[in-house]
Amino acid sequence: MANDTTAAERLKAGDAVRRALDSGATLEAAASAVGLTAAAAKKARWLASIYRGQERKQLAHALSRLTPTHLEVAAHVSRSRVELLRRAASARLSVRALREEVARVAAVESRGRAVVEVLGGRGELERTRAALERYAAFPPRQLERLLDGPNGEVVRQLAAAGNTLSTRLASAS
């Protein structure tokens, strides 16, 4: 299998490896049958054993947008694994960004209380920033229409929050 394999494809391969091993095949034969190296087949089987039944159903749509490495990274947290992977898929988080999220969540889970509140992924923040930059560049009449529209109040709140954060950042420097 190629490096651009999706998480869904790797889980399917892991299931096939498990079935082959259960029927008496060697790891090498099972790996060869699904087009993986023995090491990759072993890891695929491991992933398939972690992501089973209900979790797979909950992740069904996300699995085609994630890589096997996303699954490996999230495998180390238990309670919020599905939520993290769904967010990673929808925000198109890189594996590195997911690792950062998992580290925060793992710290929370190990302590049993929130240390850092996770408000949104990098993708959400970047989209919000881009929207605010576009709104700031609107001509006066277009900005007025935006503010009078259904999202006007939210745009005003975002602007106020951004102004508050900017002031705090300036005073913290």
Please tell me whether residues 138 and 105 are part of one structural domain: no
Q: What angle separates helix 27-34 from helix 7-22, to the nearest 10 degrees?
A: 140
Please tell me whether residues 112 and 59 are part of one structural domain: yes
Which one of 50, 72, 87 terminates a domain? 50
**In the prediction, which pLDDT does 3 show?**
58
Residues composing the chain: 173
Total structural domains within the chain: 3
Which helix (H) or strand (E) segment is 106 a member of?
A: helix 95-111
pLDDT tens string 105-118: 777 766 655 445 55
CA distance 173 to 171: 6
**In the prediction, which pLDDT does 19 show?**
95
CA 58 to chain centre: 14
Please tell me whether residues 57 and 107 are part of one structural domain: yes
**In the prediction, which pLDDT does 118 show?**
58
The parent domain of residue 161 ranges over 122-172
**DSSP string of 4-32?**
T--HHHHHHHHHHHHHHHHTT--HHHHHH
Q: In sequence order, which residues have a C-beta less than 8 Å from that of residue 42 and are 6 or more positions away?
A: 17, 27, 31
CA distance 39 to 141: 61
**In the prediction, which pLDDT does 112 show?**
57
pLDDT, block means (10 residues), the chain with 173 residues: 78 95 94 95 94 91 94 85 92 92 78 57 84 93 92 89 86 75
